[in-house]
């Protein structure tokens, strides 16, 4: 299995409009592969301007926010490509697309790094951040999974939230819980009572 890095990817439309989305980039040697499913604004943007930036967010709410309809996060200009990157990040890298493997469902864009920079010290992982990331990914697959599988995963992830979350992680978790509850037609909160879900 390849190494996949969970990042925030930014691309620009021909009109200069920013598209900011969580994305797992697939490592292939020194390149990273971006493989969005059709239809996707990312694909349209890459066809018009074959470059992208990838940022590692310091605030996990960015990831949770993007999958729950909150995409208005501060950005700053890139250094080497036409585009913008997430402002509050541990680091970012800028990529030019050097090859495209066409596919009717999921084309693959090979990104070659042209610039990278670190912006803040990284002191360690928080288990709640990992739980929010996994819950965010889970929330994008609600149409593919059985309700009991979703609830089982959420119950397990809620343990890390209850034990290690700070205010940002709790807010991010709440956004995802709201999305899952709405999709499943539930009113109760998993985090309030993990055993009852």
φ, ψ for residue 116 (rounded to 5)? -145, 150
Q: Which of 35, 37, 44 is nearest to 14 (CA)?
A: 44
CA distances from 111 to 51, 84, 96, 145, 194 (A): 8, 16, 5, 31, 41
Any idea where the domains of the chain sit in the sequence? 4-118, 127-196
Homologous superfamily of 4-118: Electron Transport, Fmn-binding Protein; Chain A (2.30.110.10)
Q: Please tell me the distance from the alpha carbon of residue 106 to that of residue 46, in angstroms, as a whole number.
A: 13
**pLDDT value, residue 128:** 97
Look up the pTM and report it.
0.91
Q: Please tell me the distance from the alpha carbon of residue 170 to that of residue 190, in angstroms, as a whole number.
A: 12
**pLDDT value, residue 196:** 42
Per-residue pLDDT of the chain (197 residues; tens, 9 = 90+): 789 999 999 999 999 999 999 999 999 999 999 999 999 999 999 999 999 999 999 999 999 999 999 999 999 999 999 999 999 999 999 999 999 999 999 999 999 999 999 999 999 889 999 999 999 999 999 999 999 999 999 999 999 999 999 999 999 999 999 999 999 998 878 876 544 44
**pLDDT value, residue 193:** 58
CA distances from 88 to 56, 168, 194 (A): 9, 14, 32
């Amino acid at each position: 299995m390849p190494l996949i890095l969970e990042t925030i990817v930014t691309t620009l439309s021909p009109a200069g409009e920013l598209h900011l989305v969580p994305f797992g980039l697939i490592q292939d040697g020194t390149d990273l592969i971006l493989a969005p499913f059709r239809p996707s604004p990312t694909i349209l943007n890459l066809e018009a301007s074959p470059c992208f930036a990838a940022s590692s967010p310091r605030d996990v709410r960015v990831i949770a926010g993007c999958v729950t309809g909150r995409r208005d996060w501060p950005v700053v200009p890139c250094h080497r490509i036409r585009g913008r990157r997430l402002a509050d990040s541990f680091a970012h890298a800028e990529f030019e697309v050097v090859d495209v493997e066409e596919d009717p469902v999921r084309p693959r864009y090979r990104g070659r790094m042209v610039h990278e920079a670190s912006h803040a010290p990284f002191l360690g992982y928080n288990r709640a951040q990992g739980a929010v990331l996994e819950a965010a990914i889970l929330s994008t697959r609600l149409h593919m999974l059985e309700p009991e599988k979703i609830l089982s995963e959420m119950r397990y992830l809620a343990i890390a939230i209850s034990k290690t979350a700070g205010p940002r992680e709790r807010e991010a978790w709440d956004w995802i819980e709201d999305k899952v509850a709405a999709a499943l037609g539930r009113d109760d909160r998993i985090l309030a009572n993990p055993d009852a879900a």
